[in-house]
Amino acid sequence: MLGDSKLGPEQARRFLPSRFNVAGEAIDASGQACRSLACPFCHLAIPRSVLEIEPLFLSVLGAPASGKSFYLSSLTWTLRNLLPHTFRVSFTDADPGYNRALNASEESLFLNAQGDQLTPLGGLIRKTELQGELYSTVLSGGHVVNYVRPSLFIVRPQAGHRMAHETGSLTRSIALYDNAGEHFEPGQDTSTQPVTRHLAHSRALFFLYDPTQDPRFRVAEKGGRPAAGGRFGRQETILNEAAARIRKHTQLRPTDQIDRPLLVLLSKCDTWLHRVRAAGFDAPYLHSPGDPVPGLDQDAILRVSESLRTMLLDVGPEVVAAAEEFSSDVIYFPVSALGSKLETDPKTGLTSIRPTSIEPQGVAVPMLYALARTVPGLVSRLGRRPRPADQPSAGQRSGATARA
Ligand SMILES: Nc1nc2c(ncn2[C@@H]2O[C@H](COP(=O)(O)OP(=O)(O)O)[C@@H](O)[C@H]2O)c(=O)[nH]1
Ligand SMILES: [Mg+2]
């Protein structure tokens, strides 16, 4: 039964089921059982797990070439190993179809067949396109609407986790979007390109700020040029635009701060980390007595955050101002998707790396922190200093247990 009114002739026809078999599966007009679900509004397929598990939207935003795509790939690759082995939390694809593009980028960085050959960075992950396979196209009300396809993951406590008996309340399906940086520029989110609406649903926002794109941030060994792939330009405007969109879609007033944590990720730290005091930034973990699973060392994270903020006040004070106007709950992290083994290819003069020597630094820490803040109990926070309060989930806020 091919041909759908909104998705075109090659897609299976969507229908409102009225007949079911004994297994509870919908029966289509030709008498076949149907096991897939679709949204009644846009007709796009919805993995069953996303309906059954409380969703957690996390938005990653940043200027073009700030490092979002490299960051996301090294993040998910790192979490697949770190979450189960160190934190006793499973981290799995909710739907391999949705995660195809991100999985391909992970493979290009970490399972590259030519892993020991010097490869230019631009050849590892291409610039995120503004059209094409990352988007789902829907015909709606006579218009063609392009939706960005998210990557979907499931996190859940495993045996050995202190809250393994609370699996139900601590399981989440995480939706991550890899937008093109251009989507965050003014005028780029429209009713036919609703590409950043996830911002309004996001429980914690990751803003990637690339210091090497700022001419004031003289990176001594690069002669003051942006890191490979980067360009000079203002980046805090992205944050101001995101704030305006969130206010518009959540009915906040123009002067209201956004009531969610803003994580400012200073990217490509392999090129500049020597400028700040950030000892231990890659693994700020602490054990409480008798618990083999570590928690996050809140004090160490805040110490690194303060030294990054001090550095930024010196070289890009308007970024600090924009971030702290955006949210009252701002924290800064250094991240490098690649690690420090970058080389200049003598043949081409391009910044390159041997994929086997890629060693992400600090990439998981912001995500662990976001999980600790938004799913209290999944990852614990330890330390003496006063800390920002946990963010209750949408369901906990309204006192409801059921979800849309
Ligand atoms: N030195 C360094 N360069 C990076 C790193 N991550 C990304 N880059 C460079 O920045 C460019 C843009 O990164 P990308 O993730 O595509 O940016 P996006 O437009 O924000 O998705 C890449 O082509 C790389 O050359 C990193 O961790 N270190
Ligand atoms: Mg990209």
Three-state SS across the chain?
CEEECCCEEEEECCCCCCCECCCCCEECCCCCEECCCECCCCCCECCHHHHHCCEEEEEEEECCCCCHHHHHHHHHHHHHHHHHHHHCEEEEECCCCCCHHHHHHHHHHHCCCCCCCCEEHHHCCCCCCCCCCCEEEEEECCEEEEEECCEEEEEEECCCCCCHHHHHHHCEEEEECCCCHHHHCCCCCECCECCCCHHHHCCEEEEEECHHHCCCCCCHHHCCCCCCCCCCCCCHHHHHHHHHHHHHHHCCCCCCCECCCEEEEECCHHHCHHHCCCCCCCCCEECCCCCCCCEEEHHHHHHHHHHHHHHHHHHCHHHHHHHHHHECCEEEEECECCCCCCEECCCCCCEEECHHHCCCECCHHHHHHHHHHHCECCECEECCCCCCCCCCCHHHHHCCCCCC
In a domain, residue 107? The reply is yes
Question: For residue 192, which of 147, 150, 129, 149 has the smallest C-alpha distance?
Answer: 147
Q: Which amino acid is present at 56?
A: L
Q: How far apart are the first and last CA of the chain?
A: 29
Q: What is the pLDDT of residue 399?
A: 38
Same-domain pairing of 346 and 260: yes
Q: Which of 26, 46, 66 is the last residue of a domain?
A: 46
Q: CB 104: neighbour CB atoms within 10 A?
A: 12
Q: What is the pLDDT of residue 401?
A: 38
Atom of ligand 1 nearest to the CA of 124: 23
Specify the range with the lowest mean pLDDT, choosing from 88-97, 127-136, 199-208, 292-301.
127-136
In a domain, residue 27? The reply is yes
Mutational pocket test of ligand 1: of 59, 68, 70, the residue with most ligand atoms within 8 Å of the beta carbon: 70
pLDDT, tens digit (0-9, with 9 covering 90-100), for 353-403: 999 999 999 999 999 999 999 999 999 999 877 667 776 665 554 433 333
Q: What is the pLDDT of residue 392?
A: 61
Same-domain pairing of 135 and 186: yes
What six digits make up the tokens of 260? 């969610």
Q: Whose CA is nearest to atom 26 of ligand 1?
A: 268
Specify the range with the lowest mean pLDDT, choosing from 231-245, 253-267, 319-333.
231-245
CATH number where 248 lies: 3.40.50.300
Confidence check: pLDDT of 76 > 50: yes
Same-domain pairing of 4 and 77: no
Strands 172-176 and 119-120: unpaired
Question: For residue 362, which of 297, 272, 266, 298 has the smallest C-alpha distance?
Answer: 266
Same-domain pairing of 22 and 146: no
Spatial neighbors of 83 by CB under 8 A, at least 6 apart, are: 89, 90, 91, 155
Domain count, the chain: 2
In a domain, residue 401? The reply is no
Q: What is the largest CA-CA distance in the chain?
A: 70
Same-domain pairing of 201 and 291: yes
In a domain, residue 402? The reply is no
Q: What is the domain extent for residue 24?
A: 1-46
Atom of ligand 1 nearest to the CA of 339: 27
What is the dihedral sign for C-alpha 238, 207, 397, 173? positive
Same-domain pairing of 210 and 309: yes
Confidence of residue 220 (pLDDT cuts 50, 70, 90): very low
Q: Are 44 and 162 in contact (CB under 8 A)?
A: no
Protein residues near ligand 2, an ion, with CB under 5 A: 68-69, 128
Same-domain pairing of 363 and 250: yes
Atom of ligand 1 nearest to the CA of 178: 21
pLDDT, tens digit (0-9, with 9 covering 90-100), for 235-244: 999 999 999 9
Q: Whose CA is nearest to atom 5 of ligand 1?
A: 268
Confidence check: pLDDT of 51 > 60: yes
Confidence of residue 100 (pLDDT cuts 50, 70, 90): very high
Same-domain pairing of 23 and 41: yes
Proximal ligand: closest to the CA of 208: 1
Q: Whose CA is nearest to atom 1 of ligand 1?
A: 268
Q: Whose CA is nearest to atom 12 of ligand 1?
A: 65
- List pocket residues of ligand 1, CB cut-off 6 Å: 62, 64-70, 121-122, 125, 127-128, 181, 227-230, 268, 270-271, 336-338, 342
In the chain, pLDDT over 90 holds for what percent of residues?
Answer: 62
Question: For residue 381, which of 202, 259, 261 has the smallest C-alpha distance?
Answer: 261
Q: What is the pLDDT of residue 327?
A: 93
Same-domain pairing of 74 and 223: yes
CA 3, CA 44: separation in Å to the nearest integer? 13
Same-domain pairing of 188 and 334: yes
Q: What is the pLDDT of residue 383?
A: 84
Question: For residue 204, which of 266, 263, 265 has the smallest C-alpha distance?
Answer: 263
In a domain, residue 325? The reply is yes
**In degrees rounded to 5, what are phi and psi of residue 329?**
-130, 80
In a domain, residue 396? The reply is no
Kindly report the average pLDDT of the chain as a whole number.
89
Same-domain pairing of 40 and 101: no
Residue 63 CA: distances (Å) to CA of 24, 85, 325, 329: 47, 33, 19, 21
Same-domain pairing of 16 and 86: no
CA 194, CA 147: separation in Å to the nearest integer? 6
